[in-house]
Amino acid sequence: MSPQLTLQTPLELAPADVPTYLEQLWSPEQQGSTGTGANTFCLLIWQPAWAEQHLIRTGRLNGPITGQQSDQLVAAGQQAVIDADLPSGTPPLAEAVISAVAGWDGINPSEDLRGQYIDPALSALQPRRLITLAPMIEADHPLETLVAAYCPLPEEGGGTTACGDVVVLRGSQNALEEGLAILQPLLPARMPAWVWWNGSLDEAPDLLDQLAGTPRRLILDSAVGTPRQCLDLLRTRVQSGQAVNDLNWLRLSNWRETLAMVFDPPQRREALNHITQMEIDVESNHPAQGLLLAAWIADRLGWKLISSDSDDEAINARFTRGDGVEVRFQLMSVPVGQPSVHPGQMVGLRLICKPDSSPGVCVILCTESGGCMRLESGGMADLELHEEIVPVQNRTPEMDVARLLGGGHDTTNPLLASAAPLAASLLP
């Protein structure tokens, strides 16, 4: 399915007029002309799309600016990694790429359709209101406020028309911050409101605080931003009781499922009580996902963290199991030929279990996108080996977000709630 555009040209209004205009749009007198207002949810998106804006400005990508992760955008990012002479393992939309492209000349103009270019996975959910905050790279661009009614038309037809509206706040970051006052009345308390921070967790922390207070449900990506900030923010938000959804955690689901599968046969479960060593390899230099996986395993198995430190090559930690035996943990960043668009994706996991009265067990999980030769070496000849390949998930962030919105929860997944604080503690 191709993305859908709003049916009418968005109307540019003065910011102060937006709430009144929308109130009138959904008033009972107007409903005949616009369909029924969907009684669903509101989604507020922080949509900086810095990489896309710069790549289009420098002529490395064709417009319009959509804020969506397309194959063309990823390919342009990959080319920029080469042109900027960045390390080959740099993810194509990483901060380093944005910084490099931002320094290049270019003034290619482009239409900005952020907020008006709606992924079908999202429109299928019939959101009542999509509010997009679209900061622009021009530092002095004044605030523009666009409004449009929007009725998703399923390609297969059928269904009654349950409409929503889109609101776009566009301008420099300062201008956007000045326009925030209109947001509160646009997010009615009777409907669940989600905030999707589709940018780095390092940027605009004050803005994030203003936008994503409870009871709004927060969607973030702990792979985007410095690891310390990502994991601390995740921990803080989870511990505050807010419903937090982490796309980086969601992308771990195949790893969690595959590892659980290894220990499904009851005769293998005893080995879980005898793990002495856990090693994780991740792509590039971002350990958040690997630490979340390690934290989930440690939490599920009742391990206590004793210490954690790091050197140039690895993060090393020690846990104690329930029976007091020590478990050593190591996380390493390893080079990969074609890095994922998401920084720090899992490459491999090795668990070594040494029961007292039976042969040891070594479990290795490897991503299907690359090998895990480091984990497959290192004297495991006397261990019973279980090796599994973990399928790569090829879903766009929009699809993941739609998945979260489609089955919304007003609390954080308990597994993430337990793992996030421990993952933050694991990062020295």
Partner 1 sequence: MSAMLATVTNPLRVGLRQERVIAPQCLVIFGASGDLTHRKLVPALFELFRQRRLPSEFAVLGCARRPWSDEEFRGKMGDALAKRIEEDPQAWEQFVGKLFYEPVDLQQPDHVFRLGERLERIDEQCSTHGNRTFYLSVSPKFYAGGCRSLADAGLLKDPKRSRVVIEKPFGRDYGSAQALNRVVQTCGQENQIFRIDHYLGKETVQNIMVLRFANTIFEPIWNRNYISSVQITAAETVGVEERAGYYETSGALRDMVQNHLTQMLAITAMEPPGRFDPEAIRNEKAKVLQATRLADELEPWNCCIRGQYGPGGSNESPLSGYRKEPGVDPNSTTETYVAMKLFIDNWRWQGVPFYVRTGKRLAKRLSEVVLTFREAPVHLFDAAAGGPTANQLILRIQPDEGAEFRFEVKSPGSGMRSRPIDMEFSYDDSFGEPSDEGYVRLLADAMLSDPTLFTRSDEVEAAWRLYTPLLELIEDSPWQLPVHPYESRTWGPAAADALLARDGLLWRRP
Query: What minimum distance in Å lies between the beta carbon of 415 and partner 1?
Result: 5
322 or 378: CB nearest partner 1 = 322
CA angle 395, 400, 406 (to 5 degrees): 135
302 is a contact residue toward partner 1 (CB under 8 A): yes
257 or 313: CB nearest partner 1 = 257
How many other CB atoms are found less than 10 A from the CB of residue 327?
A: 23
Which residues, numbered 81-110, are part of the site for partner 1 (CB under 8 A)? Answer: none
Query: What minimum distance in Å lies between the beta carbon of 36 and partner 1?
Result: 9
- Using CA atoms, how far apart are residues 362 and 360, in angstroms rounded to an integer? 7
> Which of 263, 291, 329, 346 lies at the binding interface for partner 1 (CB under 8 A)?
263
300 is a contact residue toward partner 1 (CB under 8 A): yes
273 or 396: CB nearest partner 1 = 273
229-245 as b/e: b if 16+ CB within 10 A: bbbbbbbebbeeebbbb
Point out which span in 61-69, 203-211, 265-273, 339-347 binds partner 1 (CB under 8 A). 265-273
Tokens of 48: 């900086």
- Using CA atoms, how far apart are residues 385 and 379, in angstroms rounded to an integer? 12
43 or 61: CB nearest partner 1 = 43
Point out which span in 63-71, 152-160, 231-239, 342-350 binds partner 1 (CB under 8 A). 152-160
Which of 247, 253, 342 shows the shortest CA–CA distance to 296? 253
> Which of 153, 313, 410, 428 lies at the binding interface for partner 1 (CB under 8 A)?
410
The 3-class secondary structure across 376-418, one letter per residue, is HCCCCCCCEEEEEEECCCCCCHHHHHHHHHHCCCCCCCHHHHH
Query: What minimum distance in Å lies between the beta carbon of 249 and partner 1?
Result: 12
60 or 256: CB nearest partner 1 = 256
413 is a contact residue toward partner 1 (CB under 8 A): yes
Enumerate residues 6+ apart whose C-beta is below 8 A from 137: 50, 53, 54, 57, 102
- Using CA atoms, how far apart are residues 36 and 41, in angstroms rounded to an integer? 14
Point out which span in 36-44, 97-105, 175-183, 374-382 binds partner 1 (CB under 8 A). 36-44
- Using CA atoms, how far apart are residues 333 and 145, in angstroms rounded to an integer? 43
90 or 245: CB nearest partner 1 = 245
> Which of 270, 376, 387, 388 lies at the binding interface for partner 1 (CB under 8 A)?
270
287 is a contact residue toward partner 1 (CB under 8 A): no
How many other CB atoms are found less than 10 A from the CB of residue 139?
A: 9
39 is a contact residue toward partner 1 (CB under 8 A): yes
32 or 379: CB nearest partner 1 = 32
- Using CA atoms, how far apart are residues 204 and 211, in angstroms rounded to an integer? 11
One symbol per residue from 233 to 262: x for binding partner 1 (CB under 8 A), - otherwise; what is it? Answer: --------------------x--xx-xx--
> Which of 359, 391, 406, 428 lies at the binding interface for partner 1 (CB under 8 A)?
406
Alpha carbon distances (Å) from 155 to 2, 71, 174? 10, 23, 39
192 is a contact residue toward partner 1 (CB under 8 A): yes
Query: What minimum distance in Å lies between the beta carbon of 75 and partner 1?
Result: 30
Tokens of 335: 């080079």
Alpha carbon distances (Å) from 267 to 191, 205, 270, 357, 419? 48, 49, 7, 14, 27
Provide the binding-site residues for partner 1, judged by CB under 8 A.
38-41, 125-126, 154, 158-160, 162, 190-192, 253, 256-257, 259-260, 263-267, 269-270, 272-273, 297, 300-302, 322-323, 403, 406-411, 413-415
